[in-house]
Amino acid sequence: MDYLKIIKDILTETLDISEELVVEHNYLEQLTGMEFNLNYRDLVYLFFELEKRIGIKIDADNMDEYQFNYINGIIEILNECCSKTI
Q: How far is Cα 34 from Cα 30, in angstroms, rounded to an integer?
A: 8
Domain carrying residue 29: 3-85
Q: Is the Cβ–Cβ distance between 59 and 85 less than 8 Å?
A: no
DSSP code at position 10: I
| pTM value surpassing 0.85 | yes
Find the distance separating the first CA and the last CA of the chain, reported in whole Å: 13
**73: domain CATH number?**
1.10.1200
Gyration radius of the chain over CA positions: 12
Closest to 44 measured CA to CA, from 33, 61, 58: 58
Side chain identity at residue 29, one-letter code: E
pLDDT tens for the chain, residues 1 to 86? 899 999 999 999 999 999 999 999 999 999 999 999 999 999 999 999 999 999 999 887 777 778 899 999 999 999 988 876 54
Please tell me the predicted confidence (pLDDT) of residue 49: 97
Please tell me the predicted confidence (pLDDT) of residue 63: 75
How many domains are there within the chain? 1
